[in-house]
Structure 1
């Protein structure tokens, strides 16, 4: 079933694959991608070889690893929906979590996250309306004071948007359709001027906090784990540097709302491309951030173990996505990692680590 171990140095995000929030320790944060003939395959990080990975046909995973009930259902649903991108994997993961198979707290967190998604789309839609009115040369003091939930508020909004459509030389129906499509693309990232950041922008900001926290821990800790923690902080900083550029380009397109509406097809494609790249860039970081945050309430030994667990799954930026390649630096740390890594589950005997499963479910309950 195994294709064998390979050095994990992907060239593209698609080759790196999308992280899957399994609760079985060995499978936690493994990545799914499309391999030969577009068949799904899973990349399982080697617990003892640092960046080495096992490439396993997706359908063979249940025969190879004893899986929790949550993971079996998640595995089946990913196959059924042919999910492979971060957006698709998150959608499927939320469906499974809502059923309570990863515990009631994870189910509650999933429901809250989906409600927050709806609220974010509504907020983004409203902010984009304001941006459209501004692009049409219209002031909107009335709009700012409008309660969109009332009949009067909706009528006033329609009147303003009709006037904006005329100014932009678009049919009102076309303007509304473009607004709706744009909001769907923008909402997961979020707008800078939003009083509440979008999901990806929030993870991006939390990544900066992770960088600072794990870097400080590395400087204060005198052990073999210190250089591993420093490397995790370095990977975070590398991701942040790239993300800053992506967000600047993303928001720059939206700020030029008039041009976006007039040159719709090309401009929307660019906005969508930046949003997709941001989702791939941050894929897997929410688990890393939440796992580290959870460890801060524990003793130094558990924090050290967490550092090594995170090193195993740290989302390295693919070679073609950056001029800098950190794989060489990661390989230098493999010897230290091998001396300190803790086996979460012995897949060869099928022994399940219930404490590790509980810890993973706790992290899932913190994730958005």
Structure 2
């Protein structure tokens, strides 16, 4: 293999077996367009500099852990990836949300082509609309819950969803002024906006806001069903992807249900709400802390699956076998921290299933031909495909 080949250039950073204990040590998926960086993740380094984690592409159960500053030495990144590399290096916090927003910003500037730029602009607009819809539905739910708890004999108004926004806000103020509520309406409305930001990923029970997390979970479920019937030489890839999809969904469901359950007492939640939690789930008291942690955990569990699903959707049906190896290589590892996250709520043994998936991933990698990556001579084709993926997974 020539010394200039990306695998040879990255080999100096090989770190042996890769079994991260936490999701943060696993890192956040970065939507690179350079073929040899696809599936790469950024994580905090042992010192001040972050690290790039690349799964060993062939024949080994390991990873390349590369100082973030050395990324250009590991391959020849596209212009999009150079800009994204610089942008992410300046992030104060590494989390799926912060990396996703940085990537959308780079795509919106046109570095991955016009379709990706348009998709990023749409994604920004949908995120803003989603937060607005979430805040509106939280207001509806606040009125429903508050008025349900009033003494019998009070005059009932029309269903909250039939009210104009001023009338709905007036009913919410009335609920918040009930004895024992203990929260000023102005402070409650400010907290409601912060709560909408925290809930915009997971949405509300019944998904009235068409939130991103339930939509991605549905896409993962559809992928698992579609791919289970895949036959041919890449059947091993299909089995691995389907196994990862099933386990991810089994872990996401109790986390999502727990986040929704935290919304069952909105007046009480608003009473205890403090400064905005952020998508990283920083510590907070009581139920608001629980909600922030659950929404952050859901984001970590789903991180990277948008790229896997996007590869499947973007491939022509007759050529889907060609993308299965890339998809299998990108199935996210599940760290041991998973056992603490959903062990009590899952209704199954997440540790045993996680180990089974890790064993399947290691076995699959050992079946790949050593010294071959399937990318040589296809760089331009794969860059174009990955730029299309930026449009599909904005």
Q: TM-score, length-normalised on structure 2?
A: 0.84
- Structure 2 residue 326 is matched with structure 1 residue 317: no
Instruction: Tell me the equivalent position of 1:337.
Output: 368
- Structure 2 residue 321 is matched with structure 1 residue 304: yes
1:253-273 CA-to-partner distances (Å, cap 9, x unmatched) read 112324323444411111010
Structural RMSD (CA) = 2.0
Tell me by how many angstroms 1:143 deviates. Answer: 3.5
1:234-279 CA-to-partner distances (Å, cap 9, x unmatched) read 1110000000110111111112324323444411111010000000
Q: Of residues 65, 83, 88 in structure 2, which corresponds to 1:55?
A: 65
For structure 1, which segment, 57-66 or 157-166, has the greater mean C-alpha deviation from structure 2 after superposition?
157-166
Q: Judge conservation of contact 2:140–2:168 (CA < 8 Å) in 1.
A: no
Instruction: Tell me the equivalent position of 1:236.
Output: 245
1:259 to 1:332, Cα distance in 2 relative to 1, 3 A: same
Tell me by how many angstroms 1:183 deviates. Answer: 0.4
Q: Judge conservation of contact 1:51–1:312 (CA < 8 Å) in 2.
A: no
Q: Of residues 298, 302, 325 in structure 2, which corresponds to 1:282?
A: 302
Q: Judge conservation of contact 1:5–1:53 (CA < 8 Å) in 2.
A: yes
1:314 to 1:51, Cα distance in 2 relative to 1, 3 A: farther
Instruction: Tell me the equivalent position of 2:386.
Output: 360
Instruction: Tell me the equivalent position of 1:151.
Output: none
Say which SS state the counterpart of residue 90 (structure 2) adopts: helix
Q: Of residues 159, 178, 182 in structure 2, which corresponds to 1:169?
A: 182
Instruction: Tell me the equivalent position of 1:157.
Output: 168
Q: Distance in 2 between matches of 1:284 and 1:98?
A: 20
Tell me by how many angstroms 1:132 deviates. Answer: 1.0
How many pairs does the alignment contain? 350
Q: Judge conservation of contact 1:103–1:361 (CA < 8 Å) in 2.
A: yes
Segments of structure 2 that go 5 or more residues without pairing to the other structure are 1-9, 149-155, 274-284, 340-350
Q: TM-score, length-normalised on structure 1?
A: 0.89
Q: Judge conservation of contact 1:50–1:338 (CA < 8 Å) in 2.
A: no
Instruction: Tell me the equivalent position of 1:348.
Output: none
How do 1:63-212 and structure 2 match up within 5 A? 63-137=73-147, 141=158, 143-148=160-165, 154=166, 156-167=167-178, 168-212=181-225
Instruction: Tell me the equivalent position of 1:292.
Output: 312
Which consecutive segments of 4 or more residues in structure 1 shift more than 4 A?
none
Q: Distance in 1 between matches of 2:160 and 2:232?
A: 58
Tell me by how many angstroms 1:341 deviates. Answer: 6.3
Instruction: Tell me the equivalent position of 2:288.
Output: 268
